[in-house]
Amino acid sequence: MAWLKKLSPRLFLFLAVIGPGIIAANADNDAGGITTYSIAGAHFGTKMLWILLLITFSLAITQEMGVRIGLVTRQGLGGVIRENFGVRWTAFAMLAMLVANLGTMTAEFAGVAAAFEIFDVSKFLVVPLAALLIWLILFKGSFKTTQKIFLIFSCFYIVYIINGFLIKPDFGQAVKDMVTPTIEWTTPFLLTMIALIGTTITPWGQFFIQSYVVDKGLNLKQYKMEKLEVFIGAFITDIVSFFIIISTAATLYKYGIHITDAKDAAIALRPLAGNLAQYLFAFGLFSASMLGAFILPTATAYAFCEAFGWESGFNTTWENGKFFYGIILLSLVLPALIVLLPKISLIKIMILSQDVNGILLPFILIFVMKIINDKKIMGEHTNKPIGNIISWCTIVGIIAATIILVVSSIVGLN
Amino acid sequence: MPYLSGLLNSKIVDSTDEVVGKLKDVYIHPRVGEYAPLYYLEIKPLHKKHSVFVPYNFVENFSKEEISLKTVFSKIPTEHVLPDHYLGLSHYVMDQQIVDMVGARVVRVNDLRIGDFEDKMCVLGIDVSFSGLLRRLGLTFLDVFKVLKVNLIDWRKAQPVKGVLKLDMVAKELTHLHPADLANIVEDLSIRSGSKLVNSLDAESAAKVLEEIDPKLQKLLVHQLTPEQTTRILTKMSVDEVVDLLKGLPDEEGQTILSYLQNGKLKKIKKLLHYKDDTAGGLMTTDYIGVKPDWTVKQAVKEIKKNFDIMRSILYVYATDENEKFLGAVSMRWLLISEPDLLIRDLLKEVSPSSILHPEQPVRDVINVMTKYDLNMAAVVDENNKMLGVVSIDDIMRHLAPHA
């Protein structure tokens, strides 16, 4: 890369920090992500695009805060919470993250099952196999290489962008919907809306980006470049989300087709891939699910061990690392079992798990906000007013939506 | 004997049995290798905004059942600020990372055990167990069958790594650990605490620890240190390790550190920086013991003694002529059994030219040569047969398993 350094120093500086933002953002579009965006488009057309536009800013801002806390404290989020809020709040935060992550893992396995359903392969075969494969690779294989492979696979999202142009959607309507907030006071709409937020900004994403920055060893001098990377990452993710939504809006919503399984969602890719659409979708769903399923168990276990001072890493013995291995096993076995329940709707799992993420997100974000505005922790790197406004709006927005959802389901608005 | 978690936020009564306030924190003045006596209680008086510090000798009873004072609260000379060397247990020790020196690992403080030691109320132990965690959470009832064991670390065998504790005190105790264990500890700490710990060690131990640390983390730790601090440690590291470290740093930072190093070492380092990592030149170190053929065994032994402290392994001495041309090597074994008056020249044996390395040779070649000739160390020479340095088995192992 020496030649690049001479040729274009700025580009070199940027490439040196690349990773955290893009990877975190890309991994956001996992099984739960694809499903939620597909459903948002198929069931409600382009009506939710305004939310997508708003949460793009929220995603950028919240991820940037994670980066900043990581750079200043040089610790993961779990460790920072423990050292500043004590053990009770830590237990609370970690429990919230655990539940959210178990939900997401369930979505990933549901994604694997749904992908193979297209080929008529039983979930009772593929889900245990996938769990076993992940366990083996985590133990014996190269985590990094595997992560890269699935990351490259998940570039399949580009097909949605091409597809989005091929179907010649009504871009005018899309832009109009993007700037005019519309809300339906129905349970399905609110559920989808919270899932949309919860799949884009996630509790684990907050933990993940902070640890990534610390592990990659970026320093404060690289902050500006890293910030740019995070913003670009957020933008790219939501561009993809945008095209998934308009693709399903133009193909499914238009004809009133509701998504009940992966085959329905795959119809959206017909304009590009024709009869191959199903296979293309299955491949994309599978690799996206596997990428998430690889990252999540270890990320969860590391965060717990950091917060509670347990030994971690794959080179510890079973005796010393019982919590570390225990959490990894738990996040593989329990979600796999849930997916294997007979007659459970895979699509519902995928979207409801994102709701769980969305509902738990504000709790994690409040910790992030307390930390980032604490001068004792952050020194001169506390938040600017604009960051605070956007973050608090996100938090209040989700909480309000959740309350309305709960009330509406009790009163039975639907 | 109480746990700190059971005492914090308890009500405090004075000699009139009036409730005067709540316990906020307990302050100690830690010394290495001693149980820490309690010096001050931080009390938040009833109906007042700011807390005050009450000297511990005004405390009558300090237990889970009751915390009481000997006199009337208003008569006690309380402090409003404490000097920096006092350490609040709740603030600076609870929930923080500490180094368990017996287990040579990093753990988090879940709770603190307090009790009498030589008639003084002291911090005796650190609870790092899961049951300590449950106690803090108020969930002890979950352990119905009492299967969870409390795991206490002796306070004297633990080292906080954060806060106001003087770090040079920490260092003394820690240097008893093996550098490889210490390196593991540093790897487990947050980077900031880790670099603090490395920097608190004396230069020699710090150098040894830094050499054992994963190269990627090495780079991060150095980022956290000032160039002066880095230089202090680097001057005690072997030349080849310094070169490896500098290669991993951004140009600018490497240059700054180079400019701080003294001349002698600088020259050697600059020379080595040119070689690629996976060649004999990149692996070798220029730290070796050179002797002249007309020296006696006695002189060679004296030379070894002189350099003993800066070199980690001395297996051979290397003989060169007046133009620094390589003549051969004599093993420690031979030096040990030979008469002191014998000349080095007479101990030198015929050396097969193919057992001598050249700097551009790839690491595969180096391994082949060393395996074939059963060498623990091999000499590296340039095209004019001038001695450049030596590659040791150690250097190769480190190259093959950089993360171990």
Residues A276-301: pLDDT tens digits? 888 888 888 888 888 888 889 988 99
CA A98 to chain B, closest CA, distance in angstroms equals: 17
Q: Of A127, A137, A136, A134, which is closest to residue A336 (Cα–Cα)? A: A127
Residue A403's pLDDT is what?
87
Cα B43 to Cα B65: distance, rounded to the nearest angstrom: 17
* CB-based contact A214 B191, cutoff 8 Å: yes
Give me the mean pLDDT over the B118-125 stretch. 88
Per the rule left: phi > 0, alpha: psi between -120 and 50, beta: everything else, B249 is: beta
Which residue would you say has higher pLDDT here, B255 or A99?
A: A99
Cα A336 to Cα B52: distance, rounded to the nearest angstrom: 55
Q: Is B105 on the interface with A (CB under 8 A)?
A: yes
Residue B163's pLDDT is what?
46
Quickly count: other Cβ atoms within 10 Å of residue A220's Cβ.
12
CA B278 to chain A, closest CA, distance in angstroms equals: 18
Residue A195's pLDDT is what?
92
pLDDT at A102 over 90: yes
A75 neighbourhood in chain B, CB within 8 Å: 190-192
Which residue would you say has higher pLDDT here, A15 or A215?
A: A215
Please state the domain extents for chain A: 17-411
* CB-based contact A309 B108, cutoff 8 Å: yes
Residue B153's pLDDT is what?
82
Query: What is the residue whose two structure tokens read 């700190």?
Result: B4
HSE of B306, CA atoms in CB hemisphere, 13 A: 11
As to burial, measured by CB atoms within 10 angstroms (0-12 exposed, 13-18 middle, 19+ buried), residue A57 is: middle
- Do you know the residue count of chain A? 414
H/E element, B95: none
Q: Is B137 on the interface with A (CB under 8 A)?
A: yes
Give one DSSP letter per residue of A322-384, joined into a string: HHHHHHHHHHHHHHHHHHHSTT--HHHHHHHHHHHHHHHHHHHHHHHHHHHT-HHHHGGGPPP
pLDDT at A18 over 70: no
ipTM of this model?
A: 0.74
Give me the mean pLDDT over the A291-313 stretch. 88
Percent with pLDDT over 90 in chain B: 11
B96 neighbourhood in chain A, CB within 8 Å: 83
* CB-based contact A75 B133, cutoff 8 Å: no
Q: Is A86 on the interface with B (CB under 8 A)?
A: yes
pLDDT at B403 over 90: no
Residue A37's pLDDT is what?
93
Contact A21, A230 (CB under 8 A): yes
Residue B54's pLDDT is what?
92
Q: Is A43 on the interface with B (CB under 8 A)?
A: no
Residue A97's pLDDT is what?
95
For chain A, the average pLDDT equals: 86
Cα B295 to Cα B344: distance, rounded to the nearest angstrom: 6
Residue B167's pLDDT is what?
41
B137 neighbourhood in chain A, CB within 8 Å: 87-88, 91
A309 neighbourhood in chain B, CB within 8 Å: 97, 106-110, 128
H/E element, A318: none
For chain B, the average pLDDT equals: 83
Cα A319 to Cα B334: distance, rounded to the nearest angstrom: 47
Q: Is B46 on the interface with A (CB under 8 A)?
A: no
CATH architecture assignment, domain B283-400: Roll (3.10)
pLDDT at A176 over 50: yes
Chain Cα centroid distance, residue A370 = 23
Give me the mean pLDDT over the B275-298 stretch. 86
Percent with pLDDT over 90 in chain A: 36
Q: How many CB pairs under 8 A join A and B?
A: 48
Residues B148-184: pLDDT tens digits? 778 788 888 776 655 434 444 455 566 677 788 788 7
B-interface mutation test, from A83, A219, A302, most B Cβ less than 10 A away = A83
Confidence band for A7, pLDDT divided at 50, 70 and 90:
low
B105 neighbourhood in chain A, CB within 8 Å: 311
CA B220 to chain A, closest CA, distance in angstroms equals: 6
Confidence band for A5, pLDDT divided at 50, 70 and 90:
low
Residues B238-282: pLDDT tens digits? 777 888 788 777 777 777 777 777 766 777 777 777 788 788 888
Q: Of B111, B116, B165, which is closest to residue B138 (Cα–Cα)? A: B111
Please state the domain extents for chain B: 4-89, 283-400
Confidence band for B187, pLDDT divided at 50, 70 and 90:
confident
Residue A14's pLDDT is what?
59
pLDDT at A414 over 70: no
Give me the mean pLDDT over the B198-206 stretch. 81
Q: Is A219 on the interface with B (CB under 8 A)?
A: yes
Residues B336-365: pLDDT tens digits? 898 888 888 888 877 888 888 988 889 998
Strand-strand pairing, B316-320 and B290-291: parallel
Surface of A (300-319) touching B: CB under 8 A: 307-309, 311
Residues A356-394: pLDDT tens digits? 998 999 999 999 999 999 998 898 899 989 889 989 998
B4-89 and B283-400: identical CATH topology: no
**Which is the CATH superfamily of the domain at B4-89?**
PRC-barrel domain (2.30.30.240)
Of all residues in chain B, the one with the smallest CA distance to A312 is: B188
Report, in angstroms and rounded to the nearest whole number, the Rg of chain B calculated over CA atoms: 29
Of all residues in chain B, the one with the smallest CA distance to A307 is: B108
Give me the mean pLDDT over the B200-211 stretch. 83
Structure tokens belonging to residue B400: 């093959």
What is the identity of the amino acid at A158? I
Q: Is B108 on the interface with A (CB under 8 A)?
A: yes
pLDDT at B83 over 50: yes
Confidence band for A106, pLDDT divided at 50, 70 and 90:
very high
Residue A17's pLDDT is what?
60
B-interface mutation test, from A74, A305, A319, most B Cβ less than 10 A away = A74
A147-150 long-range contacts (CB < 8 A, ≥24 apart) are A147/A291, A147/A294, A147/A295, A150/A287, A150/A290, A150/A291, A150/A294
Residue A1's pLDDT is what?
44
pLDDT at B6 over 70: yes
Residue B166's pLDDT is what?
40
Which CATH class name applies to A17-411?
mainly alpha
* CB-based contact B96 A87, cutoff 8 Å: no
Residue A108's pLDDT is what?
94
